[in-house]
Amino acid sequence: MREGSERFKRTLEGFFFAFVLFTIAVAGIGLGVRRWLPPLASEHGAGIDRMIHYLLITVGALFVLGHAALGYFIWRFSRQERVTYRLASARAEKLWSLVPGVVMALVAEGGVLLIGLPIWQQYYLRPAPSDAVLVEVTAEQFAWNIRYPGRDGRLGRTDPRLISYENPLGMDAQDPASRDDIVQLGVMYIPVGRPVHVRLRSKDTLHSFFLPHFRVKQDAVPGMTIDIWFTPTQTGEFEIACAELCGFGHFQMRGVLRVLPPEEFERWLAAQPTFF
Ligand SMILES: [Cu+2]
């Protein structure tokens, strides 16, 4: 009698413990899906969110299932009087090795191929539309230099040898295309609803241009110009973050992104002084 109630108590404890862990896992997945990402403010970002949510839910479910199976085995076989073992047949062993592996590959990789590839194609493999707003973003320790091409729509020539305290981007004053270029430090203005074409560069080391609300994250690599584009869907003020540990001041490498209604953006742009 006494042994029976002891066993019952232990079983109850086991179930309680399993219930707590199960709740933490499921609540974690649920919270991740609903609260993890900041509110979405770009067009292609919906697809990226779909991909992240799909992976979080399916891989989360596999995680919970795997632990439920593990818990079951511990519960089931810890109740035996003696320690014994039973060899599985070669066939069962192969089957149980192969099937879960194939299922996991299908779930994870299948999702990446079906959901992820079209977004990848949309985000990276299409050139920016010709009506996109062109903005050059040059990262440096520890700031974001923003340059607009001005009325001619062309960014002027730059040369590292021309870089000085007064001319941080090394812009060439002799190039006519440079004359109307506009340079901002740390604050980037863009219009809502129009594609924005960012030409990303770096002056010194690796940085990563990160717009969390826009699901935009791209490394800036010295010596390379990397083109990305996205379409903002919300007006407001957002954060530009550096997502690459780039030195002692990395933590303060923040910029501000202001997304304005198109007319307001045009008015702002027209009011900016040119660099030269
Ligand atoms: Cu940085």
Show me where the domains of the chain are located.
2-125, 133-271
Peptide bond into 142 cis (omega under 30): yes
| pLDDT (0 to 100) of residue 77 | 83
Mean pLDDT value of segment 58-74 = 87
What is the 205 CA–ligand 1 centroid distance (Å)?
8
The stretch 26-44 carries a mean pLDDT of 87
Q: Which of 6-20, 51-65, 225-239 is predicted with the least confidence, judged by mean pLDDT? A: 6-20
Q: Which residues are paired to 209 by β-bridges?
A: 218, 242
One-letter amino acid of 224: M
Return the pLDDT at 141. Answer: 93
Q: How many whole angstroms from 47 Cα to the centroid of ligand 1? A: 27
The pLDDT, as a whole number, for residue 274 is 87
The predicted pLDDT at position 64 comes to 86
Average pLDDT over residues 123-134: 89
Residue 185: pLDDT band by 50, 70, 90 thresholds?
very high
Distance 248 CA to ligand 1 centre (A): 10
Q: Is it the case that residue 1 has pLDDT exceeding 70?
A: no
**And the tokens for 66?**
């795997």
Output phi, psi for 75, to 5 deg.
-65, -50
Ligand 1 center from residue 247 Cα (angstroms): 7
Report how far ligand 1's centroid is from the alpha carbon of 185 (Å). 14
Give the C-alpha separation, 215 to 94, whole Å: 42
**pLDDT at residue 82 is higher than 70:** yes
If you measure from the C-alpha of residue 24 to the centroid of ligand 1, how many angstroms do you get, rounded to a whole number? 35
Say if residue 269's pLDDT is above 80: yes
Answer for the pair 61, 26: CB distance below 8 angstroms, yes or no. no
Report pLDDT for 91.
93
Find, among 267, 82, 276, the residue nearest to 175 by Cα. Answer: 276
For residue 144, how far is its CA from the centre of ligand 1 (angstroms)? 9
Strand partners, 256: 187, 239
How far away, in angstroms, is 245 Cα from ligand 1 center? 6
Q: How far is the CA of 257 from the centre of ligand 1 (A)?
A: 16
Distance from the CA of 200 to the center of ligand 1, in angstroms?
13
pLDDT digits (tens, 9 = 90+) for 195-254: 999 999 999 999 999 999 999 999 999 999 999 999 999 999 999 999 999 999 999 999
Q: Is 220 helix (H, G, I), strand (E, B) or coil?
A: strand
| Range 133-271 has CATH code 2.60.40.420 | yes
Q: Ligand 1: distance of its center to the CA of 166 in Å? A: 21
How do residues 14-24 score in pLDDT, each as one tens digit? 888 888 988 88
Ligand 1 centre and the CA of 123: distance in Å? Answer: 22
State residue 78's pLDDT score: 80
170/57 Cα distance (integer angstroms): 48
CA–centroid distance, 146 to ligand 1, in Å, is 14
194 touches 143 (CB < 8 A): no
Whole-number average pLDDT of the chain:
90
How many angstroms does the Cα of residue 255 sit away from the middle of ligand 1? Answer: 11
| Distance in angstroms (rounded) separating the CA atoms of residues 148 and 15 | 62
